[in-house]
Structure 1
């Protein structure tokens, strides 16, 4: 009888955690404007500062891991946090909560507003200004924890400079590798006991299976697609390969998708560009641009197939690497490398803060004032991010009327 009661309590506890993950990630999915770097700021504020689901060091290490992996880095970070909070289903719930709102909004938004110039709306510009405050907050918090000495500050600033002056698909990966090598020599004294242990509730055999499945699909889907007429398998294959081979976030996936879809006639160039404009107006990951493209190809069914195809690689890679990541990060040499990598991540955030976030958002003194007010509201008044988002949208609307 007692065993049954304990099982019920354990199941109830799991369900409670899953619903908690779904609720928080859905709130983030409804309010996280500004692209992948801004998303990391939202995640840091909600998951780390407010709820303390992970410590600062482990969050930074997870961000560093996801920067190494191809695919949507911010979505992978969210999936990783969900997995460590509530297991594999937690990762799925975190993904659904963060992604589904923008999938629904983007398909509807693209269908309704195609042909309208939404890019110059005041409230959309206000959301870009919100991203300035969110990313500044993330840099403020992570910089204090991860760059406390002159060596790490120097690594961060040099990384930011290289990221700004050398903007290619491989630049972020190259910066992280170089910073890791530098950290390996500068921080040999880091001890394993200094690193908080991450509990990853995934058996290693599942991780290995996920990695095998990732590569199997990458090589077998093109073969299967070529065996018959271009149909659902071909659509899934195009989006799966795009999600598997892109480093550097949502904007980098655009040329891959364009090469896959426009020459085949599935999507016209005009429809492709109109959809990308609409994508800037919704929260959530930029990879949900795939939902719009899928809807253009074959309605809601196409949107779901395209979304599943482009995000599946992210799932498989996170599940496949997390169980081994904690073991690796606790090795003395790896820890020294991660100290350098984490400083470089702060630098990459700083570079992205300037370009494209600052340069595309702060266009006048009024924008600077609005961003400053939002930053103060977020950092010192401790207002919830969703209120800051609403204030930013309202501020952008009002300044457009001036």
Structure 2
């Protein structure tokens, strides 16, 4: 994109857009929830569908002129059904959090009980944190990972469920590096007659490609993001059995949202088609292998990983043992100086403030999209460890920044 029309209308915004393009080209995106979509997805999201109001659903809109909006949304729905094997799919949620909100609205009343994974143990705000609507509307109890292994303790989860008697159990994560045993969570939900919502926001692409087990057909509801490991238009998705279809659709519209963002749904449709191609399975497999190599490299440098490794697209580093004087915020800031962009993150049994936590989270989806393989990820791991080992050392920073520049040049983005 040239942004010529933007520059003519608003030079300040054009400058920012060009700056962002250069930033993405010249740095390594390792925030686990970020990826790089194709130029086809970018083009679809900037289409004339931006102009179209389409309240309702295909064939049942509250506005005229929706024939092409219907066509695009139906394509997105059909492709999502094929990708994940779901009976019913709603592609209108604006985000994964919006998708979770709609499921809550479809099934719960204010004051009902939710059991979910604690935020500092890898959960998500929308699973019931007090600062989020879910924590304000519902009575929330939370389960944790085992402090020694860093893995979900399913026996403890079931014990808590039997004592708390939730109306819904939420599984899934934003910072948990291991595969989830959906059937174990479902068994806990069945034992207390609770709904089970599986949030696969981070692993939608890994599930679609079959490199992570699927909760579709196991959990009552499956929600996700459509832009993290799936590389489609930015937004959310809900999947469920046909028996819940009407309740879910009504909870999304008119319950939680007005008109859908049809340009984003176009991006979802294009991204889903790309994910249906055979090469997407190779991509998803490479994402996981890259994460494994990244984790092993960091461990070789003496850094501690929560759960001692990963099955997914992310690694979670606990700095407390190896670098007790370095916070996650310190590491994030230092790494950004050399062109490696990731985030400070809480770790199980966190002892610091969530605004300056004890860990860092690093993901491999975006670098894998750029073509990084195991050798390149080993180099990236070496760079991360060198910076964390030498906070404030300008000579080390300059050397690592040079390596990052070389990696970006070898793996170009949006040429």
TM-score using structure 2 length = 0.23
Larger strand share, 1 or 2: 2
Which protein, 1 or 2, shows the higher relative CO under an 8 Å CA cutoff with sep ≥ 6? 1
Structure with greater helix share of residues: 1
